[in-house]
A = this chain, B = another copy of it.
Amino acid sequence: MSLVLDRAAQDLLFREARTANAFTDEPVTDEQVQAIYDLVKYGPTAFNQTPLRITLVRSPEARERLVGHLAEGNRAKTASAPLVAILSADNEFHEELPHLFPAAPQVKDLFFAERPVRENAAALNAALQAAYFIVGVRAAGLAAGPMTGFDAEGVRKEFLDDDHTPLMVVNIGRPGPDAWYPRSPRLEFEQVVTTV
């Protein structure tokens, strides 16, 4: 009753959406990825730094190389998913800040001159954007299968610029038969929220 978002949207994005481990053969098009990006690009980040970068692994040869860097349990589903995306943080995001944060272009040099500061900011803010992206995949009527079980350094060397840190690999498609495990329990409100 306290939510404004309609029930169908709540179900689509959170209540009925599930992490998929099996997919149908239906392709995920570039148009769908563009529509997802054009929605979730508006999600907030600190100073609008938007450090998330997305690598779509489409060629069979690239897919095979990626699968080799995944934990054993993540290989079969990733080999057969319609689309796989590597989500990474660009630690040199500050180069775009004068354009992205025109209200205070000095922020680039004032706050982000040092690489360790940028790495911390990019890790947090790209993670926020990764969550927006997962929500966006669901908004497109697709299921996401985010995974952190992979050799990060191997993926970085194989697929990314030196300045990028991989955050997760996400399988994307329509859920196939037996696509998920039973829903696991969640913590109660009282276990998570305290008031001072």
Residue of B nearest to A126 (CB): B127
A187 CB, nearest partner CB in chain B, Å: 6
Measured CB to CB, the residues of A under 8 A from B are: 1-6, 8-10, 12-15, 17, 19, 29-44, 46, 48, 50, 52-59, 62, 96, 99-103, 121, 123-124, 127-132, 134-135, 138-141, 144, 146, 148-149, 159, 167-168, 181-182, 184-187, 189, 191-196
- Whether the pair A44, B134 counts as a contact (CB closer than 8 A) is yes
Can you identify 10 A-B contacts, CB atoms within 8 angstroms? A1-B35, A5-B12, A5-B13, A6-B8, A38-B189, A44-B144, A52-B192, A127-B131, A128-B134, A135-B135
Chain B positions within 8 Å of A131 at CB level: 43, 127-132, 135
Chain B positions within 8 Å of A167 at CB level: 124
- Whether the pair B189, A100 counts as a contact (CB closer than 8 A) is no
Partner of A194, one of B10, B55, B168: B55
Residue of B nearest to A28 (CB): B2
- Whether the pair A6, B9 counts as a contact (CB closer than 8 A) is yes
- Whether the pair B192, A53 counts as a contact (CB closer than 8 A) is yes
- Whether the pair A4, B132 counts as a contact (CB closer than 8 A) is no
Given A2-B140, A14-B42, A43-B134, 8 further pairs, Cβ under 8 A: A2-B36, A10-B39, A17-B42, A37-B193, A48-B184, A56-B193, A123-B124, A129-B131
- Whether the pair A130, B128 counts as a contact (CB closer than 8 A) is yes
- Whether the pair B57, A196 counts as a contact (CB closer than 8 A) is yes
In the bound complex, CA of A54 to CA of B39 (Å): 27
In the bound complex, CA of A134 to CA of B56 (Å): 26
- Whether the pair B55, A39 counts as a contact (CB closer than 8 A) is no
Query: Top 8 A-B pairs ranked by shortest CB distance?
Result: A131-B131, A4-B141, A127-B127, A2-B35, A5-B139, A9-B9, A128-B131, A41-B186
Chain B positions within 8 Å of A121 at CB level: 148
